[in-house]
Amino acid sequence: MSARTVEIRTCGACRQRPAWIPRELCAPCCLLLRSDLRDVVEDYRWLGDCMANLAPSWRTSSIRAHRTEAPIPFDPILSAQREDIARVLASWAANVVEKARPRRWPPHDVLPEVTAPWLSCQLGWILRHESAGDMADEIRTLRIDTERAAPRELDWLNLPLPCPRCGRLALSERAGTVRCLRGGCGHAMTLSGYRDLENAIAAELAAKTKTAASRADNDRATAA
Ligand SMILES: [Zn+2]
Ligand SMILES: [Zn+2]
């Protein structure tokens, strides 16, 4: 009698937890992929809304067909991010159509509103396929990049200090997490890490002021 051994695979997405056999991903990553496929459609719409209604700081350029027309605000970063969402989803849909057996009817359009729900319906097959981890990674990246390009302003509170990594004034806080968003490098830290940064800068500036003050005192003493 041969003992059947069940091979323990590692999740293809987080590469830490064991996969949820027979799927290629662990349970939390399966759930995250499912919700990302739903939320990435919201991201696509959100980027469109942002482009239609750009804040002054984002208004990098505008396009118009005729001189008399009111310019349509245009932001190349937001536009490229929207195109990325559509392209990545459509290419994964094409991948499933090509590989899945029995063959699937392809989605009837390449728009994310169509391809994302179509991919959600194919999750049963996708999660058992070796490329599930790559797909989860790519869709997660789309979500993170959208948040960076066009953060939901109401949720994020802008912070005054520059990012310790890239130096941009792009730090925002939400629920105890600080991230470098809006064209920043994506650096993340805890709110207490940010407070330490504040204290360090405050101490440094206080020391400088003290030195300047004592120098002024010395000058005054010399002059007298
Ligand atoms: Zn995982
Ligand atoms: Zn940064």
Give strand ranges (E) for 59-136: 61-63, 72-74
Assess whether pLDDT exceeds 80 at residue 199.
yes
Tell me how far the alpha carbon of residue 160 lies from the centroid of ligand 2, in angstroms.
13
pLDDT tens readout for residues 14-61:
898 888 889 999 888 898 899 899 999 999 999 988 887 665 544 445
For residue 16, give the ligand nearest its CA.
1
Q: What is the pTM of this model?
A: 0.63
For residue 159, give the ligand nearest its CA.
2
Rounded Cα gap, residues 224 and 220, in angstroms: 6
Please provide residue 109's backbone torsions phi and psi, each rounded to the nearest 5 degrees: -150, 160
Q: Answer with the residue of higher pLDDT: 210 or 188.
A: 188
- For position 64, what pLDDT does the model report? 53
Rounded Cα gap, residues 44 and 50, in angstroms: 10
**3-state percent breakdown (helix, strand, coil) of the chain, nearest 5:** 55, 10, 40
The answer to whether the CB of 137 falls within 8 A of the CB of 25 is no
If phi > 0 it is left, if psi is from -120 to 50 it is alpha, else beta; for residue 40 that is alpha
pLDDT tens readout for residues 63-78:
555 555 555 566 788 9
Mean pLDDT, residues 156-160:
77
For residue 136, give the ligand nearest its CA.
1
Assess whether pLDDT exceeds 60 at residue 2.
no
For residue 187, give the ligand nearest its CA.
2
Tell me how far the alpha carbon of residue 130 lies from the centroid of ligand 1, in angstroms.
13
Rounded Cα gap, residues 161 and 206, in angstroms: 16
Q: Answer with the residue of higher pLDDT: 218 or 9.
A: 9
Tell me how far the alpha carbon of residue 170 lies from the centroid of ligand 2, in angstroms.
7
Rounded Cα gap, residues 108 and 33, in angstroms: 22
Q: Is the peptide bond before 22 cis (omega within 30 degrees of 0)?
A: yes
Distances (CA, A) of 30 to 25, 42, 95, 123: 6, 19, 19, 9
- For position 42, what pLDDT does the model report? 92
Mean pLDDT, residues 159-181:
85
Tell me how far the alpha carbon of residue 39 lies from the centroid of ligand 1, in angstroms.
19
Rounded Cα gap, residues 144 and 13, in angstroms: 15
Assess whether pLDDT exceeds 90 at residue 212.
no
pLDDT tens readout for residues 55-109:
554 444 555 555 555 555 667 889 999 999 999 999 999 999 999 999 999 999 9
Q: Is 202 strand, coil or helix?
A: helix
Assess whether pLDDT exceeds 50 at residue 7.
yes
- For position 38, what pLDDT does the model report? 92
- For position 1, what pLDDT does the model report? 45
Tell me how far the alpha carbon of residue 193 lies from the centroid of ligand 2, in angstroms.
14
